[in-house]
Amino acid sequence: MKRKILLIYTGGTIGMEKNHETGNLVPFDFRHILNKIPEIDLLECDVSVHPFEKPLDSSDMGPEEWKIIAECIGKNYENFDGFLILHGTDTMSYTASALSFMLKNLRKPVVLTGSQLPIGDLRTDAKENLLTSLYYASLYENDEAVIQEVAIYFEYKLLRGNRTLKYSAENFDAYQSPNYPVLGQSGVHLHVEKEFLLRPKSDEKFSTDTHISKDILFWRIFPGMSPEYFEKLPKVKVLILQVFGSGTIFNSDKTKDILKKLRENGTEIVVVSQCVSGAVSFGKYENSSIFQEIGAVSGNDITAESAITKSMHIVDNQNYTGTFSENFSKNICGEISVSLK
């Protein structure tokens, strides 16, 4: 049976080709993608293309575009077996993370991919990324989708979207998922690591919840930073602090007083690590106990991209009962390891 895939084209390098007169890279009309990659016809799926009106560099994408994509998937959920999103690589991990929170009880594949070189380039990585993504997006067994989550496929690896980060602006192998195993690997054979795949936690039907607040701030501390800077930050609902190692910060009374005041004024503080691998562990060192004392939330082993989009999604969201801290600490869709402390 031929599976039906909706390909949502948002922009990025993948959709560009060289204008041979000017030598510039320009976006091409993605409705004609099927002519560019005739190999698509050989796959066991029918592809419908839904292009963004204006293709975007992914650095221009954010909450509005995440909502548009989530709503497009919501509207077309029943009519398609899988979804493929072509996206610029720079912010793909943010979009994948945001979508993972917005698409509830997903039972169909949502795969994002892009490329480091345009599809028209002789050495392009776009074709392999696109064709194998289509394969994963249309993979079914016993009439059930094998992938039931938001994933990124890039350079032979299928990764959980909300565990990824772009770590190379140069290599074809541009994404990592440092705190979660690879979901699938493409070599001579296409593998899926079934034990690591996400399954919906409840029998509830698929739905979308596109709540996203922009009332958050992300701040990376650095050696020598004056704690007074914290007083100069704009007032926000959620302040995500990216601190050292397993959750440490300069240990002064001043720091404690200022952060305490922020908490008393209603700011939620989430703590994530500047290390991309491993986890925040409050209390491991004296220099992290300050966070326990002020009632900050540990981001544990979550990525910065997921911490940002998760905070945006849960803060002031009427669909979540309980406190911000309780909701942030929960594993919503595989983005955080809850057993770590």
**Residue 15 DSSP label:** G
82-111 in b/e form (b: 16+ CB < 10 A) is bbbbbbbbbbbbbbbbbbbbbbbebebbbb
What is the full DSSP assignment across 91-142? THHHHHHHHHHHEET--S-EEEE--SS-TTSTT-SHHHHHHHHHHHHT-EET
Give the binding range for ligand ASP (CB under 6 A) out of 51-59, 99-107, 211-219, 252-260. Answer: 51-59
Question: Which of 27, 82, 88, 109 forms a contact with ligand ASP (CB under 6 A)?
Answer: 88
Residue ranges in 59-78 that form contacts with ligand ASP under rule CB under 6 A: 59
Phi-psi region of 253 (alpha: psi -120 to 50; beta: other; left: phi over 0): alpha
58 in contact with ligand ASP (CB under 6 A) = yes
- 117 touches 123 (CB < 8 A): yes
Nearer to ligand ASP, 151 or 236 (CB): 151
CB of 338 to ligand ASP, least distance (A): 32
Measured in whole angstroms, the distance separating CA 37 from the mean position of its chain's CA atoms is 27
**Contact mark string toward ligand ASP, 13..32, x via CB under 6 A:** x-------------------
Q: Which stretch binds ligand ASP (CB under 6 A): 9-17, 73-81, 129-137, 182-190?
A: 9-17
Active-site residue, 124 included? no
Pick from 51, 114, 184, 247 the residue near ligand ASP by CB under 6 A.
114
Q: How far is the CB of 280 from ligand ASP (least distance, A)?
A: 28
| 13, 91, 132, 255: the active-site residue | 13
Among residues 81 and 155, whose Cβ is nearest to ligand ASP?
155
172 to each of 114, 115, 147, 175, 242, how far by Cα in Å? 11, 8, 23, 9, 27
Catalytic residue numbers, as ranges: 13
- Binding residues for ligand ASP (CB under 6 A): 11-13, 57-59, 88-90, 114, 116
